[in-house]
Amino acid sequence: MIYDVLIIGAGPGGIFSAYELTKLAPELKILVLEAGHPLPRRRCPIDGVKVKGCIGCSPCSIMNGFGGAGAFSDGKYNITNEFGGTLHELIGKERALDLMRYVDTINVSHGGQDTKLYTTANSHLKKECLRYGLHLLDASVRHLGTDINYVVLENLYNELSQRVEFRFDTPVSRVEKLDGGYRVTAGTEQFEAKRCIISAGRSGSKWMQSVCEDMKIDTHSNRVDIGVRVELPWEVFSHLTDELYESKIVYRTEKYGDLVRTFCMNPRGAVVHENTNGIVTVNGHSYEDPALQTENTNFALLVAKHFSEPFKDSNGYGESIARLSNMLGGGVIVQRFGDLIQGRRSNAARIRDCFTTPTLSATPGDLSLVIPKRILDGIIEMLYALDKIAPGTATMDTLLYGVEVKFYNMEVALDEHLQTCHEGLFVIGDCSGITHSLSHASASGIHVARYIAEQ
């Protein structure tokens, strides 16, 4: 065996497992195989001038490369079991929280020391929300911001690369079980190790599914979240974002009893494209540096869809809706809330007249032609509910970008060590289906590293 541990994917899951292994078992030979580029070579060509929309680079520099999908994210590390994944169901609530706190100390000691940790504890906003059927979830959140997140990743890479071997632009195509280990194929090369940690993220979801099929690892269907990204003047939500930074609020619609929730709030941030396997959806981020901040705050409003028999392909359903918006808008569609309520499309003139200046160049259109009625009704209902705690939310000039889709991987059958039915083969992070966030993915990496080091 040439290596002791192979790690597939250098997103937060892979990075933090490598980090912890180097601390606890420095004698181990570790190889990280990553489909994307090293951090300095990750450049999305969209500049808003020459390249206005996604041109489908392969690999996509937003999703792939050192830092994974999190590299240019807002760097919000939520320390909570209430959202961001179900890691606690496998490893226990206290342990999950401890791991997330530990990840926070690593981020702080690698460049995040001047960033703020926000918390909902004792917030009067909880009571205010409850008055209108809005439920504010408990969490602490470290906001690194896109800029500091990058610094932390740079520092982690500089430290890790002293002890860990990295191979970039090396997509793994196959994982095989050997006697007492694993063989991994990438292009014409093959690598072998006693243990293999797969951390391929959301962008590796289809590939992960094929690995599970090949290796007879059980999976079960998961959910998909569909919705829009809302953008409005930052002042509207400033009383929430100043105190909490990110508020995760859940609302049950009166019409259907569906749950709608806020997701990924970016005060003074920007709306961005996200490309998952060629499908362009919308996301958002913000910078810690005031010079890079905008006049707007954005957040997603999402509705979760679960399917049972006979239809199981939740991601396929989400993809179809996203494809429809890509077909009609050539990418992401933007619509003023007022136009949506009046039953008309937004056009270029209406967006030009809008008091809220869009931070993303998207095609003005009509989201009601794309998003299923039930989901759209829920989003509209929640916007009116949010208007009660943040007046100015449900106005003509609030912008809605669509569609925002959160794809979840099939949930992989894992034990409490995040080990598959094959001894020594671990699946962590978002590709396991049990994490959907930076903090949970990172925590899962630490958890597996500790188990391997113990052994």
Ligand X SMILES: Cc1cc2nc3c(=O)[nH]c(=O)nc-3n(C[C@H](O)[C@H](O)[C@H](O)COP(=O)(O)OP(=O)(O)OC[C@H]3O[C@@H](n4cnc5c(N)ncnc54)[C@H](O)[C@@H]3O)c2cc1C
Q: Do 136 and 126 contact (CB within 8 A), yes or no?
A: yes
| Strand blocks (E) in 234-349 | 249-252, 259-266, 270-276, 279-285, 296-305, 333-336
Asked whether position 261 contacts ligand X by CB under 6 A, the answer is: no
Looking at 22, 199, 262, 325, which residue binds ligand X (CB under 6 A)? Answer: 199
Sheet holding 399-407, edge to edge: 134-136, 249-252, 259-266, 296-305, 224-233, 399-407, 333-336, 363-364
User: Beta partners for 280?
Assistant: 275
C-alpha span between 126 and 211 (Å, rounded): 44
How many residues contact ligand X, by CB under 6 A?
Answer: 43
Cis peptide before 49 (omega within 30 of 0): no
Instruction: Quote the least distance from Cβ 145 to ligand X, whole Å.
Output: 9
Q: Do 79 and 101 contact (CB within 8 A), yes or no?
A: yes
Please list every residue from 45 through 104 that binds ligand X, using CB under 6 A: 64-65, 68-70, 73-76, 78, 84
Kindly indicate which of the ranges 111-119, 155-163, 198-206, 306-314 contains the residues binding ligand X, using the contact rule CB under 6 A: 198-206
Residue among 61, 405, 408 at smallest CA distance from 201: 408
Looking at 11, 318, 331, 378, which residue binds ligand X (CB under 6 A)? Answer: 11
Asked whether position 354 contacts ligand X by CB under 6 A, the answer is: no
Asked whether position 171 contacts ligand X by CB under 6 A, the answer is: yes
Looking at 437, 448, 449, 450, which residue binds ligand X (CB under 6 A)? Answer: 437
C-alpha span between 177 and 200 (Å, rounded): 18
Q: Do 254 and 438 contact (CB within 8 A), yes or no?
A: no
Nearer to ligand X by Cβ, of 171 and 331: the residue is: 171
Asked whether position 433 contacts ligand X by CB under 6 A, the answer is: no
Nearer to ligand X by Cβ, of 263 and 337: the residue is: 263
Asked whether position 331 contacts ligand X by CB under 6 A, the answer is: no
Residue among 121, 126, 129, 127 at smallest CA distance from 390: 129
Nearer to ligand X by Cβ, of 150 and 337: the residue is: 150
Q: What contacts 288, CB < 8 A, 6 or more positions away?
A: 115, 143, 144, 145, 146, 147, 148
Looking at 194, 436, 447, 450, which residue binds ligand X (CB under 6 A)? Answer: 436
Kindly indicate which of the ranges 5-13, 45-53, 332-340, 357-365 contains the residues binding ligand X, using the contact rule CB under 6 A: 5-13
Please list every residue from 367 through 426 that binds ligand X, using CB under 6 A: none
Looking at 111, 112, 145, 204, which residue binds ligand X (CB under 6 A)? Answer: 204
Asked whether position 268 contacts ligand X by CB under 6 A, the answer is: no
Residue type, 239: H
Please list every residue from 282 through 311 that binds ligand X, using CB under 6 A: 283, 285
Looking at 5, 200, 382, 449, which residue binds ligand X (CB under 6 A)? Answer: 200
C-alpha span between 53 and 36 (Å, rounded): 20
Asked whether position 145 contacts ligand X by CB under 6 A, the answer is: no
Asked whether position 207 contacts ligand X by CB under 6 A, the answer is: yes
Residues forming contacts to ligand X in the complex (CB under 6 A) are: 8-14, 33-36, 64-65, 68-70, 73-76, 78, 84, 171-172, 199-204, 207, 264, 272, 274, 283, 285, 429-430, 436-439, 441
